[in-house]
Structure 1
Amino acid sequence: MVVSKNIKLSEKIKSVPGKPGVYMMKDISSSVLYVGKALNLRNRIKSYFSAPKSLPLKIQHLIKNVHDFDLIFTSTEQEALILENNMIKWHQPKFNARLKDDKSYPFIKINLSEEFPQIYFTRKIKKDGSRYFGPFASAKSVRNTLTLLKKLFPYRSCTKEITGIDSKPCLDFHIKQCMGPCIGNIDQNDYLEIINEVILFLEGNTAKVSNSIMSKMKTASKNLEFEKAAIFRNQLESIELIKEKQKVIQHENSNFDSIAITSIEKTSWIEIFFIRQGKLIGEDHFTMHNGFDSETNLILKAFIMQFYEINPYIPPEILIQTEIQDMESIQNWLSQKKDSNVSIKIPLRGNKLKILNMSLENSKQRASIESTTKKFTTKDTTKMLKKLQEILNLPRFPKRIECYDISNISGTNSVASMSVFNNGNPSPHSYRKFKIKSVQGINDYAMIKEVLERRFKSISQKPGEITPESQNQQQLSEIPDLVLIDGGKGHLSTAVQVFLELGINNVPLASIAKQNEEIFIPNFSEPVEFSSNPESLNILQKIRDEAHRFAINYHRKLRSKTALFSSIDTIPGIGPKKRKSILNKFGSIKNINKSSIEEITKIPGISEKLAKQLLSISKNMQ
């Protein structure tokens, strides 16, 4: 929109001071569209609105949707840089370059607060004294690494309380993959040495790990502990095999990351090589949504800020292919995080340039393969969706399809889920879950009614009218092109009645019956015929399966919480107040099982005895 059309916005622009800070552009529903920073906010904001038609088309598109903006002032440019990154991460604005789904990247966690530390897969970093390694691009990468670690290091993988007096060890002990702290076969100091070796290995310091194991092997042999010496020998051989596979690329023992980027249209592919002690110990790849930032330097800057914000380890040197905006400020920020000097460099010659070119070649190959695959997939999916539109006689192309499913057992902990597909693909960030509030017992129809009313009531207008403005004003900002109900004719009739009562008549409805995978639409008694177009039916089945999976997972979580709630009541000495504290801290049986006695006793009023009882009950409930 042009400023003259919004007097309030025009006056607000005039009052912006020339200070450093962060600005957030918002649409009519106050959703954040774009986050930026500036040394002089007045000049930056004015540059967007003084002559919008002279701006690049992508920025014009942003400005047309801007209804308001917010400002946060900072003392320095570096403060603004950090705040900008935090705001992008929090709001996920669609016009900013950002890591795809960066909120859930996985890590390896080593809980050093435990007597006998465990090694976990986690998606959350807490300030709890643990060591974290990552982020990894996928859960598969973490699991592969954990599998490798388990083969190399005999640490415990169980969640039980370690007493040292158990009568029998688990299978891992018998296959030499655990030293058996549960039966007292290893003391705490020796176990912590193993954990320290794991940490060194994850840091890429395989030489130190080898030296440590070699020393232990010699000591065991000297003490005539030949079985123990054989375990160390096998461990050493496995690590040496891995070292041989690691490509030596630097003669000196240098540590750095090499980051390269390739962009195609609205997506960028990032490739990182991790160099530790002069060896390539690993690589990872990430995908960036470009927003309207098409310049390589801006996307690279966004990636570095977002990646190292969540990365516990920062190397002393980072190689990139081009200069980035705010390079000095970013170096200062990284140095502060690391508590030692970090430099960002563009290599011009030698081994480091070769390494960067290897990273770049990998990102180009990945971009080429994935973008080509995506084009073919998109073309096929579009064709199937057009056919679906034709078969169901939909008034518009079904870009956004929502599916609703109910989950309950004997009418308890009843929940519903909403899964969303955009252009034929799952859109997990749009999924929603609903805890049923108004229905007791088993009544799927009443539950569907409640959920649809909660989802659509805020956007209902006078009969027959849903305007573009109403789309912007409601919290779930997009109106679906098709609503699918998991159920038969009765479920569909309920949905039709809800829409009639809300005055919504331009959102198409359909239901999918489980037994024969039949699709029903309003005003037709027979199911829709899909025999000549099974691919279009498959899209509806996939979104139904997603809704079902999402609902069941939520239902299990609530059941677990209810079961835990009931079990806690059986422990003498735990009343309502302590029970509430336990539930607030852990929330589920799974989380309690992952915890140590020390962690549980941090809850006010929970003694070591109560903590042991709680752990015992939770393990029996697994």
Structure 2
Amino acid sequence: MPAVEPPSFDSKAFLAGVSQRPGVYQMLDETGGVLYVGKAKNLKNRLSSYFRDSGLPIKTRALVARIRDVQVTITNSETEALLLEHNLIKRERPPYNILLRDDKSYPYIFVSDAERFPALQFQRGGRRRKGRYFGPFPSSGAVRESLNLLQKVFRIRQCDEAFFRNRSRPCLQFQIDRCSGPCTGEISPQAYAEDVRHAMMFLEGRSQTLRDELAQQMDAAAKALDFEKAAVLRDQITSLQQVQEQQHVSGLSGDADILACCQKAGFACIHQIFVKGGRIIGSKTHYPKLALEVSEADLLAGFLGQYYLQSEARPVPPQIVLSHEPAASESLREAMVQARGRQVAFLTRVRGQRRGWLQLAQTNAQQQLDSYIGNRQNMHRRFVALQDALGLDAPPRRLECFDISHSSGEAPVASCVVFDTQGPRKTDYRRFNVDGVTPGDDYAAMRTALRRRYTRLKKGEGQLPDILVIDGGKGQLTQAEQVFEELQVDDVLLLGIAKGVTRKPGLETLIMGGDHREEVLTADSGALHLLQHIRDEAHRFAVAGHRQRRAKKRGSSLLESIPGVGPKRRQALLKHFGGWQEIGRASIEEIAKVSTISRSMAEEIYAHLHQE
């Protein structure tokens, strides 16, 4: 009997759901073994380069031919992506990674505090010398540039011991005011030790004095129209930002499992991150099947019991960091204590490094669930389920959904999103700025948007859908019926989807166009999941368009449309980061370091700046 050929990897369907954020990818073969581990500033762009039609080297073509799956882990920054890549390569030793780096390949900042007059130096290699090591850092350029800046500000020597001990007069560094001259007694040991202490406080992330001073200088230079000097200062602030960047992938110590769950459109995802010795060594994504709409607390409780207590091969970690408090958490924790033989801590309110890990897990859970929902095979099954639920002769091929977004009637925007059997067709999405209607009149806004959309389609400027989904009840559905009657569009099925009294997912009511017959589908229905997905996507697209229009109308940036971010906070952000571009690149943790920005405000700013 001939061997069964393993299914090929559907790169087109995979790339359609890949995020454009930084992260790490693992390419797997048919047995699940890791072929290659890589990092990317933009995951979608990097992974797309592997699957182009031509121009690939022979080795890359051989790698691509063996790929059967790709696992993606999103990180907050390129720094975290590089360090996670390093950890995974050390653990997995994939055959297509030629260079297997170890800790010695990363640069450190070294302070020889065992000496009477310590030096501040660049260090790469083994850590055999006595002193303090700060790092590892991913960018040697940023380390060297920042050492140069620290030398200017704190005037700490950077020469080696042989040079230092054989000076009879100060060197050029003293003459240009980059060293305080401890070699010839130009500064007292006490004053020099104070400068060293300040530099180490900065490297530990416990002082903002230097960056605030640079920000003030940059602001003064810009006001004086000395833009060249302001740009130099901005670049220095950026370098300091990179050096001081908090690392979530590589930390100090601790073993833990991080679990975050996410629910959407009738599906659930639990993303698990494994931390050993303070370093992320891997991750795994689970998609538990939901028979009914359950809470995150019940979902995590069920997963913890099945994953850790039903298999002796899975060790129970000393700490489990969770996005939600699991149901019956105390009894569950006691059972895990018995299984481990030692104490186990459930943590939900965490700070610092653990909060960074949890944020990574939550981001990955959301992104992986979006990718899973948009999977081509899953999407096809949901279209077939919608055919059965509506009693159609054939599965629909194209769906459109409309939604309206505004703020108390200001800057209303209507969205139109399009799905086919491949998933969302974002190139066919449209937005309509709605003018000339009474503020807050959603019915009039819906009529205006529908009339503009389907007048064009009726003229042959696009493709009519098989089903038009209206986010709303009978009132909104009636507006669509009136517009279709006016335009004589009679070959499109109208369908309203209204939230139930509790407005919880899974309890929606379907309203059929024409007779307004109502139907309620089961919470595990693929048809309902499809309708929830397209409705949520229409809402997201409408809200994003409304925020952009409102910001433009007010003559302001997107940041100014965030409630609570006024002129003082915007100025503080600019001083801290040196420019709008750096704010867009910053993680939530970095934004929260600004003195006037709380953690919740940082999350709000990050969400607004990273709308996809």
The answer, yes or no, to whether TM exceeds 0.5 is no
Higher relative contact order by CA 8 Å / sep ≥ 6: 1 or 2?
2
- Shorter-chain TM-score bucket reads 0.3 to 0.5
Scaled by the length of structure 1, the TM-score of the pair is 0.36
